[in-house]
Amino acid sequence: MQGKRILLGVTGGIAAYKSPDLVRRLRERGAEVQVVMTAAAREFVTPTTFQAVSGRTVRTDLWDPAAEAAMGHIELARWADAVLIAPASADFLARLASGRADDLLATLCLATEAPIAVAPAMNHVMWANQATRANVAQLAARGVLVLGPAAGDQACGEEGLGRMVEPLELAEQLAALLAGGGELAGRRVLITAGPTRERLDPVRFISNRSSGKMGFAVAQAARAAGADVVLVSGPVSLPTPPGVTRIDVESAADMLAAVLKELPGTHVFISTAAVADYRPVRAAQQKIKKANDTLEVSMERTPDVLATVAARPERPFVVGFAAETESVEQNARTKLMKKNLDMIAANEVGDDKAFDSDENQLIVLARGARYELGRAGKLALARGLVSLIARELAARADRSLRGTALA
């Protein structure tokens, strides 16, 4: 990030108290930082604080006669190599999504051609509100990078998803964005996520408790690492990570068909999806009526998406997931060998474990290697997993080069 010019927008929210530390983290990496504050932000932190840590006069007003005499908002928009809004309040996300230009920061975002990243911070109910989700999805579709939010305790005394990502992590993510590369730069990564549904009749299906959160986090982390990412997802209610191509499917057969279609040219295949193991032999054409005290359903195996990909003669680096209720590592190691995988990530599941949670922990097994990723947010774990995959790919390439040299 040496010599890069970062325009840091600060909006109104208690998380604004972290933003001076973010300025420091960015400057530690060699960046120049120009802070632009909204009126609401000045209710939480003073411009003097940011001037002290950035070494530059803070801009606050679109109608500043001195600055705007030379069209200062256009000058700043052209000056920036990247724009980071941290914290990004629900109000600012709404204004940005609607294309408003009613203050200096919003106007800069419209006038700049630099990449824009936002770090949302708000109460967890506000984050979950459909209006906020729609605004975020619209911004992501336009190429705005959405960093977070994280889960945890909130200033209101409640707990949930809505905390601003910590300054150190934001600085690292922005550095990766500006580097234009990453650990998986030039790689194509195909990921499956979420549950599948196997039809019982026109109104009922057999499924499982997978939320898809881990798979979507892996997709976001792989994209941030520079990969071209395709995400094949079962039915979930999650926004598509920025820059990721998403394909929605329903059944195991649908997922296999989509994966095989997207497989050519893929370098890494990561199967996080909780694919149903069985499906009804025949789905009823009409709703099954409650006529008897018991109902017998004949079941058959579904196609094994992971094993099918791993068995192909010319296949990518294959990573599986093992969700176990007991003997987690032993069962994962058996799956690694039986399905001829390159790597497997294992975690314990059950009531209050992994499903629908924003946190997890993983044991990662590769051929001749074992790693542990301790309890953390799923995005943090996803980044750790992506780094391990990149490490194994590099080691494989190194072994291949040494083998060629010896030959």
Q: Which positions are annotated as active-site residues? A: 156
97-111 in b/e form (b: 16+ CB < 10 A) is beeeeebbbbbbbeb
- Is the Cβ–Cβ distance between 42 and 117 less than 8 Å? no
Q: Give one word for 226, left, alpha or beta, with left for phi > 0 and alpha for psi -120 to 50.
A: left
Beta pairing partners, 133? none
Q: Which helix (H) or strand (E) holds 27?
A: helix 19-28
Residue 392: both structure tokens together: 């194994």
- Is the Cβ–Cβ distance between 190 and 268 less than 8 Å? yes
How many other C-beta atoms lie within 10 A of the C-beta of residue 235? Answer: 15
Residue 308: both structure tokens together: 């099918």
Query: What whole-number distance in Å separates Cα of residue 271 and Cα of residue 322?
Result: 10
Query: What whole-number distance in Å separates Cα of residue 283 and Cα of residue 285?
Result: 6
Beta pairing partners, 247? 232
- Is the Cβ–Cβ distance between 144 and 116 less than 8 Å? yes
